[in-house]
A = this chain, B = another copy of it.
Amino acid sequence: MDILGKSLIGFRDAEGANDSFRAWNPATGEQIENNFHSATREDVELAARLASEAFTLYSRVPSVQRAAFLKHIASQIEARAEQIVERAHLETALSKARLQSETGRTCNQLRLFAGVLEEGSWVNARIDRADPQRKPLAKPDIRSMMHPIGPVVVFGASNFPLAFSVAGGDTASALAAGNPVIVKAHPAHPGTSELVGRVIRECVRAQGLPEGTFSLLFDSGNGVGQALVQHPLIKAGGFTGSTVAGRALMNLAANRPEPIPFYAEMGSTNPVFLLPGALSARGKDIASQLHGSFTLGSGQFCTKPGMVFLSGRNISEAFLSEFRNKVAGSPQLTVLTGGIQESYREELQRRNARRDLRAIARGQHADTGSAFTVEVAVLETDVANLRAHPELEAELFGPATLLITFTDKEQILQAARELSGHLTATIHGTEDDLREFSELVEILKNKVGRIVFNGYPTGVEVCHAMIHGGPYPASTDGRSTSVGTAAIFRFARPVCYQDLPNGALPDELKNENPLGVWRMVDGQFTRQQL
């Protein structure tokens, strides 16, 4: 496929604005050829109108046909994987192995949602049967299920050019639930975005779906995304990125004449608690693995462990020396964009200059060449200082983490109670530790979307039970997840039918249960027909 640098408005290639922008190769700091043209206001308008028109048809496409569409996208991405990975590698400097694995994850995710559609029970069908004899009033027949919400805008993320981008989780869940999608491509990997976008467009056409089922818009700035979030025909949005951008878009969504749900996953600092028993039993292993986790993908995971609490009383020398060694042996790492490089370097400099933080280890100094490189860094403080300076809880995007020592149980519990929302919290402990610190689990339930035990938060399993979200500021909506099959609910809403004749009901609610889905009938789960 050729990269044309044009937004895909349904089946049309948009000419776009007169300006153009290019992607950068982070490994060289040089621009990559291929000009990309920002979408115009007219392009936004057309994409929204086509999506709204498509919704009428696409929302009624049977689940199994939507499943076929998702599987078709997966197989076509796999067929184009070589070119896509090549381009993504050029635009992100992420390793090809990582990008191949991310391709696999993206396709598995599409297939997992296809499976959810084929199984069918996700619609939460509920049936309360009539009772004409009930006194004083006859009881009506009430049946409810989930329906799609309307056209969805999805913002591609910089750090996962495939799994959280054009054909990523939000696109997959929105399409699965029956909604057209307009993707605003991340400007750091526009070529990758266009390639994947063209694959999806081909599948829309091949499956005979309406043109507006999918569009992809480019923009070098923020105007297109803002216009989409504010467009009256758009009914929901999904975003993965920075707190500042996520919050700004959420504000636009909430302050529209018709407010819409907007799911921004804005990353977090993902506290790790190294409890005494685990540290003394496995200090060295934990150090090595924790180093791997916080430097994974150059520290550009939303789930990067950015703060590590450990006992300062009997501090584990095995842990500390191994951690220092690993960090000292870390090469400079390439980050995704010049902006990330600059922010990281500036914030690290600020932190290094603070008297209340000690730099306990640093990796190879980042050279001053043109590549977007940064150095690995670890700082240290204690719980008392963290509590006095809650700004230290903020995410530092890149390969740095903060060790925080505590002296006793009550102190660490109090620090946990004062945490803001995070995507994850991790506990390393023995069974004894867990008994002694059982209160810690209780506290963390109210702080995060996922609690990890004796593992590492990077690596988010795509499955039915996954929750990738959490209380603000980890996300704008702690009731939702952006990974796993429960993500389908973010782009759906319930509708109930009162006394509608059986033949006019959606299949999922018909007496004979032709799709064989699980339903709650008079409060009992069953797959039986009525």
Residues of A within 8 A of B (CB): 55-56, 59-60, 101, 115, 119, 121, 126-128, 136-137, 139-140, 142-144, 147, 149-150, 250-251, 254-255, 258-259, 261, 420-421, 431, 434, 438, 441-442, 445-446, 448-455, 459, 461, 463-467, 469, 471-473, 476-479, 481, 485-486, 489, 492-501, 504, 518, 520, 522-523, 525
Contacts and interface: CB of A to CB of B under 8 A. Distances in A.
Q: Which of A136, A137, A466, A501 counts the most B-chain CB atoms under 10 A from its CB?
A: A466
Contacts of A500: 441, 451, 453
A481 B465 contact: no
A495 B525 contact: no
Contact of A461 (B101, B128, B150): B128
B451 A501 contact: no
A479 B454 CA distance: 36
B466 A144 contact: yes
A454 B499 contact: yes
Given A147-B446, A453-B504, A479-B494, 12 more contacts: A56-B442, A126-B486, A128-B461, A142-B463, A258-B471, A259-B476, A449-B494, A451-B498, A452-B499, A461-B498, A467-B494, A469-B494
A455 B498 contact: yes
B128 A496 contact: no
Contact of A525 (B445, B489, B525): B525
B496 A459 contact: no
A503 to B, nearest CB: 8
Nearest to A478: B493
A362 B254 CA distance: 41
Given A142-B465, A144-B467, A442-B60, A431 B258 contact: no
B254 A450 contact: no
26 contacts: A128-B463, A128-B466, A142-B463, A143-B465, A144-B466, A144-B486, A147-B445, A147-B446, A250-B254, A250-B259, A258-B473, A261-B479, A431-B501, A438-B504, A445-B495, A449-B496, A450-B498, A451-B498, A451-B500, A452-B499, A453-B499, A461-B498, A464-B522, A465-B520, A466-B496, A479-B494
Given A101-B136, A121-B525, A126-B464, A451 B481 contact: no
A472 B258 contact: yes
Given A259-B250, A441-B504, A445-B147, A494 B486 contact: yes
A259 B473 CA distance: 9
Nearest to A509: B465
A496 B465 contact: yes
A395 B499 CA distance: 25
A467 B498 CA distance: 10
A438 B60 CA distance: 13
A427 B190 CA distance: 49
Contacts of A525: 121, 518, 525
A255 B258 contact: no
Contacts of A136: 101
Contacts of A501: 431, 434, 453
Contacts of A55: 446
Contact of A459 (B137, B259, B520): B137
A445 B493 CA distance: 10
Contacts of A485: 523
B499 A461 contact: no
Contacts of A121: 525
A494 B136 CA distance: 39
A461 B495 contact: no
A416 to B, nearest CB: 12
A360 to B, nearest CB: 28
A489 B522 CA distance: 18
A434 B504 CA distance: 8
Contacts of A454: 499
Contacts of A448: 495
Contacts of A523: 115, 119, 464, 485
A428 B472 CA distance: 45
Given A452-B499, A501-B431, A150 B464 contact: no
A113 to B, nearest CB: 12
Given A119-B523, A464-B523, A495 B449 contact: yes
Given A442-B60, A453-B501, A495 B467 contact: yes
A441 B147 CA distance: 13
A520 B467 contact: no
A139 B464 CA distance: 13
B497 A451 contact: yes
A474 B115 CA distance: 34
B450 A495 contact: yes
A455 B143 contact: no
Contacts of A479: 149, 261, 489, 492-494
Given A128-B463, A445-B147, A451 B522 contact: no
